[in-house]
Amino acid sequence: MPNQIHLTVAALVPGERGFLCVKEKDGERIVINQPAGHVEPGEGLIEAVKRENFEETGWRVEPSHLLGMSIYTSPHNKVTYYRMAFLCDAIEEDKQAVLDSDIIEALWLSEAELRARQTEMRSPMVIKTLDDYCKGKRYPLEIINDYR
């Protein structure tokens, strides 16, 4: 039985140049991911996805829909992640933002570029989230009840 729950959020941010992604270090690997990270104690899901996206890309975003929820156990570290993916609108970039230390760069990739680089993805959840978006899956944010 794990002694910690790994609740994470991810932002799928479409734009004119494709989808906002990060190239990041994952242990010894260099991987592509949507901006994503852990929900901090006492933090709401919407707050977390905005914060994580900004810390990893320097872009302020506004979530518009929940795309889906995934459970995944990484073969690399054996950790089970509970991931909530959000569709977000890009609002503005802060070119002076200092990105998290494990982020190599923020980049925009087209759907074709993402699919061509599947072997570089941090997990299968990256492409699954893209698939959900392309299939038109959208859930209203009102599905989340925050009683804080």
Q: Per-residue pLDDT averaged across 73-88, rounded?
A: 93
pLDDT at position 76, please? 85
Cα distance between residue 116 and residue 98, in whole Å = 29
User: Which contiguous run of DSSP H or E holds residue 97?
Assistant: none
pLDDT digits (tens, 9 = 90+) for 85-141: 999 999 999 999 999 999 999 999 999 999 999 999 999 999 999 999 999 999 999
pLDDT at position 27, please? 85
Superfamily of domain 6-138 in CATH is Nucleoside Triphosphate Pyrophosphohydrolase (3.90.79.10)
Q: Per-residue pLDDT averaged across 38-67, rounded?
A: 97
Predicted structure pTM score: 0.94
Cα distance between residue 8 and residue 143, in whole Å = 17
User: Which contiguous run of DSSP H or E holds residue 50?
Assistant: helix 45-57
pLDDT at position 2, please? 61
Cα distance between residue 41 and residue 20, in whole Å = 26
Q: Is the pLDDT of residue 65 over 70?
A: yes
pLDDT band at 1 (very low <50, low <70, confident <90, very high): low
E strands in the chain: 6-12, 14-15, 18-26, 29-33, 36-38, 59-73, 80-93, 103-109, 139-140
CA nearest 107: which of 34, 54, 30, 40?
A: 34
CA nearest 74: which of 46, 110, 33?
A: 33
Core vs surface per residue 83-122: b (16+ CB within 10 A) or e:
bbbbbbebeeeeeeeebeeebeebebbeeeebeeeeeebb
- Residue ranges of the domains in the chain? 6-138
Average pLDDT, the chain: 95
CB 19 within 8 A of CB 130: yes
Cα distance between residue 15 and residue 57, in whole Å = 14
